[in-house]
Amino acid sequence: MKTVKQNVHYHIGNENETDMYSEILNGLKSMPKSISPKYFYDKKGSELFEAITMLREYYPTRTELFILNKYKYEMADAVGTDSALIEFGSGSSEKVRTLLEAMSDLKEYVPIDISKDFLYQSARALSIEYPDLNVHAVSADYTAEFEMPKLDSKRKVVFFPGSTIGNFEPHEMGKFLKQTAELLRPGGGLLIGVDLKKDHAVLNAAYNDKKGITRDFNKNLLNRLNRELLANFKLEEFSHHAFYHAEKGRVEMHLVSLKDQMITIGNEEIAFEEGETIHTENSYKFTIEEFHEIAGLCGFTPKKVWCDEKRWFSMHFLEVR
Ligand code: AVI
């Protein structure tokens, strides 16, 4: 009988310990009201985000894929031949496939994601497509501490595409970059996608698409609270508001209450005034120099930057000092 070598391995990196109800309630009781953007991604929210990435106005995903495809051999060179590639928030591992085309000698790929079932399913599919690649799927919240599997490669490189770094607040970004530098050890690398500052009209359009998918994505958060936390938000009584705040260098998303109203969530009541908002997301945009400065303060040396022709999006390779 032929024995098949198993090239996919499953690991639990950490367990999800956040208490969604207390976190959301705290945010709704704060002034101004806010909810972390991590709560957008229930099943429906993930589907809506997927639809956003295909919109004409939403340039980041398309542009990043273009850069990846154009420069994948240079990126493969930067990653090197004896490195393990670790992806944070790997989802369906779609973007890494472009890189893998240029990395035929990669031996270890470590996708890390919080949605365990989807992660394991995607890892299995990838391991079948790449029989010579060892896939170590780690179910974990990569922003918290997590346990890494034992790897054979000499060096580690983290792949963090999508400009997800832009959804972190500045203090979270610093903490995350320092934590990543520690995981990578000196000489390790970070290949990261970073959205750039640009014409405000382009930014405003990207978060206010004509089809209203971003509006639905934002409002879906209220549906989630109704379903999972027994809230009674009426979706038609809130509107989507997204705009680029130039001084803060970020696109802000809010849900605006269209009238004075009381909301119940679990056994708590929350009052809204007409025009009051729940701040649901910040998406920070950077110049290349700004990003280099922050990364430099967190222990990284910038090695290489790749951009599209309009300089709307950037991919960086940085090394830990
Ligand atoms: C996931 N993240 C990088 C997206 C962004 O552009 O900040 C989330 C998003 N929000 C509205 N549209 C897309």
221 within ligand 1 shell (Cβ under 6 A)? no
1: pLDDT strictly greater than 70: no
Position 18 scores a pLDDT of 83
pLDDT tens string 8-50: 999 999 998 789 999 999 999 999 999 999 999 999 999 999 9
Q: Among 49, 192, 219, 220, which residue has the most ligand 1 atoms within 8 Å of its CB, making it the best to mutate?
A: 49
Which residue out of 195, 214, 283, 286 has the highest number of ligand 1 atoms within 8 Å of its CB and is therefore the one to mutate?
283
207 lines ligand 1 (CB under 6 A): yes
Average pLDDT over residues 192-219: 98
In short, whether 166's Cβ falls inside 6 Å of ligand 1 is yes
Whole-number pLDDT of residue 4: 66
* Nearest one of 174, 166, 219 to 39, comparing CA atoms: 219
For every residue of the chain, which 3-state class applies, written as one string?
CCCCCCCEEEEECCCCCCCHHHHHHHHHHCCCEECCHHHHCCHHHHHHHHHHHCCCCCHHHHHHHHHHHHHHHHHHHHHCCCEEEEEECCCCCHHHHHHHHCCCCCCEEEEEECCHHHHHHHHHHHHHHCCCCEEEEEECCCCCCCCCCCCCCCEEEEEECCCHHHHCCHHHHHHHHHHHHHHHCCCCEEEEEEEECCCHHHHHHHCCCCCCHHHHHHHHHHHHHHHHCCECCCHHHEEEEEEEECCCCEEEEEEEECCCEEEEECCEEEEECCCCEEEEEEEECECHHHHHHHHHHCCEEEEEEEECCCCCEEEEEEEEC
**Separation of alpha carbons 11 and 1, rounded Å:** 29
Ligand 1 centroid–CA 283 distance in Å is: 7
**Cβ of 162 below 6 Å from ligand 1:** yes
Q: Is residue 3's pLDDT more than 70?
A: no
277 lines ligand 1 (CB under 6 A): no
Q: Which pLDDT score is estimated for 16?
A: 80
| pLDDT over threshold 80, residue 124 | yes
Rounded CA Rg of the chain: 20
- Ligand 1 site, residue 160, Cβ cutoff 6 A: no
Residue minimizing CA distance to atom 1 of ligand 1: 164
Question: What is the best residue among 65, 167, 213 to mutate for testing ligand 1's pocket, by most ligand atoms within 8 Å of CB?
Answer: 167
214 lines ligand 1 (CB under 6 A): yes
Say if strands 313-320 and 189-195 run parallel, antiparallel, or are unpaired.
antiparallel
Q: How far is the CA of 156 from the centre of ligand 1 (A)?
A: 27
Percent of the chain with pLDDT over 70: 99
Q: Note the pLDDT tens digit of each residue in 65-82.
A: 999 999 999 999 999 999
Protein residue with its CA nearest to atom 7 in ligand 1: 283
Judge if the beta carbon of residue 52 lies within 6 A of ligand 1: yes
**Residue-wise pLDDT tens digits, 133-174:** 999 999 999 999 999 999 999 999 999 999 999 999 999 999
| Residue 222 alpha carbon to ligand 1 centre in Å | 17
